[in-house]
Amino acid sequence: QSVLTQPPSVSAAPGQKVTISCSGSSSNIGNNYVSWYQQLPGTAPKLLIYDNNKRPSGIPDRFSGSKSGTSATLGITGLQTGDEADYYCGTWDSSLSAYWVFGGGTKLTVL
């Protein structure tokens, strides 16, 4: 059971938009930057979004991030079949000593 809660799965048709939520608390999301990672099947995770809403170079603007209070959201527009992957949110948690936490992951299916 992760400290950060994500829906196990989401789905949408090609060209549509989807959002993935990441819910936490004041000890993690509420007071720290959130990053998002995409893991395509059989590959290592890749950074998609950092500092809540910034995109690394090379990440298309179809991917966006936002944060409000103790929740964060990843948005993907213009869905492509190549976006089918697992998506993870992550941030620091300072409830005990500072440690990093990942969400449980969300499987995106592009129908």
Closer to other proteins by Cβ: residue 39 or 70: 39
Q: Between β-strands 106-110 and 9-12, what pairing exists: parallel, antiparallel or unpaired?
A: parallel
Is 7 within 8 Å of 103 (Cβ atoms)? no
Interatomic CA distance for residues 107 and 103, integer angstroms? 12
Interatomic CA distance for residues 81 and 52, integer angstroms? 25
- Residues in contact with other proteins by CB under 8 A are 2, 32-33, 35, 37, 39, 44-47, 50-51, 56, 88, 90, 92, 96-105
- The minimum distance between CB 13 and other proteins, in angstroms, equals 26
Closer to other proteins by Cβ: residue 13 or 97: 97
- The minimum distance between CB 44 and other proteins, in angstroms, equals 4
DSSP state of 103: B
Closer to other proteins by Cβ: residue 73 or 103: 103
DSSP state of 4: B
Closer to other proteins by Cβ: residue 15 or 53: 53
- The minimum distance between CB 62 and other proteins, in angstroms, equals 19
Interatomic CA distance for residues 111 and 108, integer angstroms? 9
